[in-house]
Amino acid sequence: MIALIENLEADVIETLIMREDSITTATYIGKGKIEELRALALEKEAKTVVINDNISPSQKKELEASLEIKVLDRTEIIIAIFASRALTKEAQLQVEKAQLQYLLPRLTHLWTHLSRQQGGIGMKGVGEKQIEIDRRLVKSRIARLNDDLEDVKKYRIVQRKKRLKGDLPSFALVGYTNAGKSSLFNFFKGKTVEAKDQLFATLDTVTKRVWLTDKEFYIADTVGFITNLPHFLVDSFKATLEEVLICDYLIHVIDYSNSHYDKQMEAVNQILVELGMNEKPIINVYNKCDLVDDSLVDNQDKLIVSIKTGKNMDQFKDRISKIIEGHQSKR
């Protein structure tokens, strides 16, 4: 969570840990922890409290009232990062859809101030009416965005049909955000994408036709996954993930230097299940071995590489080459 916040160029000045069994329905955080958090926020002059979970609109409302400070949850942080990375029209459409889907069930909270400020005779129900108007507007905008994204999907289908005429195998890069997918994409000659050491640097799917000695194939770079990614966010990026859905093979890029890489793998695999892609043939590539002490590297049954230094990339190319040979022999 700290990495997510820092990707928004914000500073984490203090971290509080609570037991999972202490979560409450009303405020998410218990009364004692709220008092501790409020005192700490005042002492540190904090501007925002971030909850490393997805909380309900009512929990957010009650927390902000109790703490008298802005509260954001995990989903809001992720959406904010997506918004800051959305440079293409397609990405911007998908981010706006995600923002509105998150906003829709929270309109009641946003209009709570109206009843407080404009109470009195004749004012009852004004807030409720405005909420309904806003809901219709938001739903209408989401419908328009769905239409626009459907046009994007149709364009991708046209491009895809052109590629399928050549009957070449296709590989899609998947993995936890910042695992090195874009670096692997750039490893092959052709068009490149910007590979940054930051979360969600890639929001668009980019595909290119590449050669590996005498073998030709397609490879696609995709948006990174993350733990507890809300379903509606996955749904918002369906247009982008379409490319992954129709590929022949998956290349799962794993940040081997991360001490929690096994949990990150589980998060990615869970999203693949949600997308119905868990049955596709998959190659696990354990990247960033240059950042791991040699004594800790477990080479048994693992393709462990460093895309940055090129270590063991010949093994990776051999694996891809054999898959392509097998693919062609089935045709």
Question: Which of 82, 114, 131 delimits the end of a domain?
Answer: 82
Whether 135 maps to a domain, the answer reads yes
Distance (Å, whole) CA 193 – CA 206: 8
Q: Do 76 and 94 sit in the same domain of this protein?
A: no
Task: Check which CATH number belongs to the domain holding 284 and give it.
Answer: 3.40.50.300
Which residues have CB under 8 Å from 115's CB, separation 6+? 123, 126, 127
Which token pair is 313? 């990339």
Which token pair is 292? 């791991």
Please give the pLDDT value at position 116: 44
Please give the pLDDT value at position 308: 93
Residue found under tokens 């926020």:
41
Please give the pLDDT value at position 115: 47
Range with the lowest mean pLDDT among 77-81, 118-122, 200-204, 221-225? Answer: 118-122
Angle of the 89-103 helix axis to the 74-85 helix axis, nearest 10: 160
The mean of the pLDDT values for the chain is 81
For β-strands 303-304 and 48-51, DSSP reports them as: unpaired
Q: Is the pLDDT of residue 191 over 70?
A: no
Interior angle at CA 166, CA 161 and CA 172, nearest 5? 70
Q: Do 226 and 257 sit in the same domain of this protein?
A: yes
Whether 13 maps to a domain, the answer reads yes
Q: What is the end-to-end Cα distance of the chain in Å, rounded?
A: 46
Whether 25 maps to a domain, the answer reads yes
Angle of the 89-103 helix axis to the 238-245 helix axis, nearest 10: 120
Please give the pLDDT value at position 182: 87
Q: Do 191 and 315 sit in the same domain of this protein?
A: yes
Q: Do 70 and 95 sit in the same domain of this protein?
A: no
Residue found under tokens 């997918």:
181
Whether 308 maps to a domain, the answer reads yes
Which token pair is 298? 């477990």
- At 282, give phi and psi (nearest 5°): -135, 140
Task: Check which CATH number belongs to the domain holding 40 and give it.
Answer: 3.40.50.11060
| For range 322-326, the mean pLDDT | 91
Q: Do 31 and 131 sit in the same domain of this protein?
A: no
Q: Which domain holds residue 193?
A: 166-330
| For range 255-261, the mean pLDDT | 93
Q: Is the pLDDT of residue 189 over 90?
A: no
pLDDT: which is higher, 197 or 212: 212
Q: Do 107 and 28 sit in the same domain of this protein?
A: no
Q: Do 232 and 266 sit in the same domain of this protein?
A: yes
pLDDT: which is higher, 172 or 84: 172
| For range 63-76, the mean pLDDT | 90
Whether 194 maps to a domain, the answer reads yes
Range with the lowest mean pLDDT among 85-89, 218-222, 236-240, 311-315? Answer: 236-240
Q: In this structure, which amino acid lies at residue 186?
A: N
Q: Are 187 and 219 in contact (CB under 8 A)?
A: no
User: Which element (helix H / strand E) includes 11?
Assistant: none
Please count the structural domains in the chain.
3
Distance (Å, whole) CA 282 – CA 320: 11
Question: How do residues 151-170 score in pLDDT, each as one tens digit?
Answer: 877 777 776 666 655 678 98
Q: Do 211 and 277 sit in the same domain of this protein?
A: yes
Q: Do 324 and 228 sit in the same domain of this protein?
A: yes
Question: How do residues 5-49 score in pLDDT, each as one tens digit?
Answer: 887 788 898 888 888 888 899 999 999 999 999 999 999 999 999
CB atoms within 10 A of CB 250: 22
Mark residue 318 as left, alpha or beta (left: phi above 0; alpha: psi -120 to 50; beta: remaining).
alpha
